[in-house]
């Protein structure tokens, strides 16, 4: 009887754990690109880390993805030198009350060179780092 009871418990545990769907499909990252896919606005086109400046301007699209639900919170981008000196920051409003991804763009109007961008979730007066990405402007 003990053996049957033990096998019943083990088979129940195996059945239950095999039915659990893995929902941890998002990661903390920021991607840069030259545009947005017109058939899927959550995908960038021309993804990379090197961009051309034309007349001291370069439109760069970004995709911020967070493990944590953004919950309608705004995204702060801080642009820094590779030595970590702050150049500029911008905030992008989140148009959704839920979700893990925000896609938008910025117009780079500073000098050519190598930099990094850091993406944060703004929660009231607090900011939580999501990810950072180095990039180069030619």
Residue 4 lies in a domain: no
Evaluate whether 67 touches 26 at the Cβ level (below 8 Å).
Answer: yes
Residue 83 lies in a domain: yes
Q: Indicate the pTM of the whole model.
A: 0.79
Residue 98 lies in a domain: yes
Residue 118 lies in a domain: yes
pLDDT digit string, tens, across residues 109-124: 989 999 999 999 999 8
pLDDT digit string, tens, across residues 63-94: 999 999 999 999 999 999 999 999 999 999 98
| Coil, helix or strand at residue 12 | helix
Residue 10 lies in a domain: no
pLDDT digit string, tens, across residues 94-109: 888 899 999 999 999 9
Query: Considering Cα of 5, then 7, then 9, then 15, what sign does the dihedral take?
Result: negative
Residue 11 lies in a domain: no
- Place 14 in a pLDDT band, splitting at 50, 70 and 90: very low
pLDDT at 15 over 50: no
In the chain, how many domains are there? 1
C-alpha 94/C-alpha 104 separation (Å) is 10
Question: Structure tokens of 67?
Answer: 């493990």
pLDDT digit string, tens, across residues 18-61: 333 345 689 999 999 999 999 999 999 999 999 999 998 999 99
Q: How far is CA 47 from the centre of its chain?
A: 13
Range of the domain at 96: 23-137
Predicted local distance difference test score (pLDDT) of residue 7: 34
Residue 1 lies in a domain: no
CATH code: domain of residue 109: 2.60.40.1930
pLDDT at 131 over 50: yes
């Amino acid at each position: 009887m003990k053996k049957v009871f033990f096998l019943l418990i083990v088979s129940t545990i195996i059945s239950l754990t095999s039915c659990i769907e893995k929902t941890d499909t998002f990661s903390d990252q920021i991607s840069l690109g030259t545009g947005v896919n017109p058939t899927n606005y959550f995908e960038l086109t021309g993804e990379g880390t090197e961009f051309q400046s034309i007349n001291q301007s370069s439109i760069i699209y970004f995709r911020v993805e967070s493990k944590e639900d953004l919950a309608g919170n705004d995204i702060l981008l801080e642009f820094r030198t590779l030595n970590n000196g702050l150049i500029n920051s911008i905030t992008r409003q989140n148009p959704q009350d839920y979700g893990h991804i925000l896609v938008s763009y910025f117009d780079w109007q500073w000098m050519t060179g190598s930099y990094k961008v850091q993406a944060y979730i703004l929660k009231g007066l607090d900011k939580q780092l999501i990810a950072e990405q180095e990039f180069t402007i030619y």
